[in-house]
Amino acid sequence: MSLTTSTIDTHLDTGIGSDLLTLSRRRRLTPGRVIGWIVLILALIITIFPFYWMVKSALTPNAEIVADSGRFWPTHPTMINFARTLGLTTLEESQAAGGSGASVNFVLYLWNSVIYCALIGFFQTLFCAMGGYAFARLRFRGRTILFNMLVAALMVPGIFTLLPNFVLVRDLGILNTVWGMVAPSVLMTPFALFFMRQFFLPIPRDVEEAAMIDGIGKIRIFWNIVLPMAKGPLITIGLITVVWAWKDFMWPLLIGRDESVRTVTVALGVYLQQSPNRQPDWTGLMAASTISVIPVIVLLAFLGRRIVESLNFSGIK
């Protein structure tokens, strides 16, 4: 398990050497390398094409979905599918464009998802940093046993705790509320706690010890010295938490059935089920899918490099 700790910066050390190696080999364009590049480019195309097709279908008028289904660009591109899934059209307009007549409001669902992700991302990261620091640094009775218990929860599949947690949330009367939805993950996940402790373990104690000699308290040391030092991993774990919260489906599906708290993923499932005829409302669905992907692309555009470079063992979940 010690693998997990030291990987954050190591690729920087070895990267230079491997770069030289690739550079020296780059000149020779052997058949093997050409095939290699073809495979990579193929992988890129297969990765991107479904997104292209999604956007293209979202821009197709519902009436022309059959005619345009084999074309690479819609004959009469339209924004109506986005307008109606975002709830910007009247019911009549929406039905005329192929909607089921049920209310669809992806502006609301996006907002709900953002709240959900922000709450979980912020508080889980903060609390797990506090806990991880305590388990790595502070001495107290039962530390090892407690930590092992908390991390053993990593092994428990989600569905096992999900059933009783649903009943608990129901009995507390917070079904269909933000609190019920964030409750199980806002305080901790074993993964985030484990990650944070692993991060704090190898950091030299010098600074903290110096501060301690100056008579600065443990809490202030954590708040003013340790947290700023841990900014990188905090952002990493925060990002990963947010991504996972964004993808969450099962729990929000159970707890947030009501439209007022419905997240984007749940709304997508509901939208498919609401489809009016035998055939799903593909153009609307693809518009909604596009809406669910846009925040992710924004995230990648701004933080892509950070995410990509922090992905290694610590990034596993």
Partner 1 sequence: MSTVMGGGSRTAAKAPKPVVSGRERDGRVAWLFIAPVLIGFVVFYLYPTLRGLYWSFTDYSLLGQPKWVGAQNYVDVVHDADFWRSMLKTLQYVVINVGSQLLLALLLAALMHRLTRSVMLRTTLLLPWLVPNVTTGLIWLWLLDTNLGFVNHLLDSMGFDHVGFFMSPDLVIPTISLINTWGYAGYTALLFYAGMLQIPADVYEAAAIDGAGEWRLFTRVTLPLLKPILALVLVVTLIGSFQIFDTVAATTRGDPAGASRVVYYYIYQQAFQFFHMGYASTMAILLVLILGVLTFVQLRLLRASESQLS
Name residues contacting partner 1, limited to 277-316 (CB under 8 A).
280, 282, 285-286, 289, 292-293, 296-297, 299-300, 304-305, 307-309, 311-313, 315-316
* 134-173 residues near partner 1, rule: CB under 8 A: 134-135, 138-141, 143, 146, 149-150, 153, 155-161, 163-168
Write the DSSP string, 42-98.
HHHHHHHHHHHHHHHHHTS-GGGTTTTTT-SS-SS--SHHHHHHTT-S-HHHHHHTT
State phi, psi for 289 to the nearest 5 degrees: -60, -45
- The vertex-292 CA angle with 296 and 298, nearest 5°, equals 25
**Straight-line distance from the first to the last Cα atom of the chain, in angstroms, rounded to the nearest whole number:** 14
The residue among 91 and 212 lying less far from partner 1, judged by its C-beta, is 212
Number of residues that bind partner 1 (CB under 8 A): 112
- Cα–Cα distance for residue pair 221/137, rounded to 1 Å: 12
- Six token digits for residue 256: 């947030």
* Dist. CA 81–CA 87, nearest whole Å: 10
CA distance 266 to 288: 12
**Which one-letter amino acid corresponds to residue 249?**
F
Contact status, residue 151 vs residue 192, Cβ threshold 8 Å: no
| Cβ proximity to partner 1, 54 vs 104, nearer residue | 54
CB of 88 to partner 1, least distance (A): 21
Counting Cα atoms < 13 Å in the Cβ hemisphere of 149 gives 5
Closer to partner 1 at the Cβ: 114 or 216?
216
Residues in region 245-274 near partner 1 by CB under 8 A? 246-247, 249-250, 253-254, 264-265, 268-269, 272
Nearest approach in angstroms of CB 117 to partner 1 is 11
Site residues (CB under 8 A) for partner 1, limited to 170-229:
183-188, 190, 193, 215-220, 222-223
What residues from 95 to 114 belong to the interface with partner 1 (CB under 8 A)?
none
Nearest CB to partner 1, comparing residues 90 and 139: 139
Q: Compare residues 87 and 315 and give the one whose CB is closer to partner 1.
A: 315
Q: Kindly state the smallest distance separating residue 90's Cβ from partner 1, in Å.
A: 25
- Which residue lies nearer to partner 1 by CB, 107 or 172? 172
Q: How far is the CB of 121 from partner 1 (least distance, A)?
A: 14
Instruction: Give the contacts of 78 (CB within 8 A, at least 6 positions apart).
Output: 59, 60, 61
Q: By CB neighbour count within 10 A (0-12 exposed, 13-18 middle, 19+ buried), where does 211 fall?
A: middle
Question: Which CB, 29 or 90, lies closer to partner 1?
Answer: 29
Residues 12-71 close enough to bind partner 1 by CB under 8 A: 14-15, 17-22, 25, 32-33, 36-37, 39-40, 43-44, 46-48, 50-51, 53-54, 57, 65-66, 69-70
* CA distance linking residue 259 with residue 103, whole number of Å: 9
What's the closest the beta carbon of residue 94 comes to partner 1, in angstroms? Answer: 19
Nearer to partner 1, 93 or 136 (CB): 136
Q: Which of residues 113-132 bind partner 1 (CB under 8 A)?
A: 127-128, 130-131
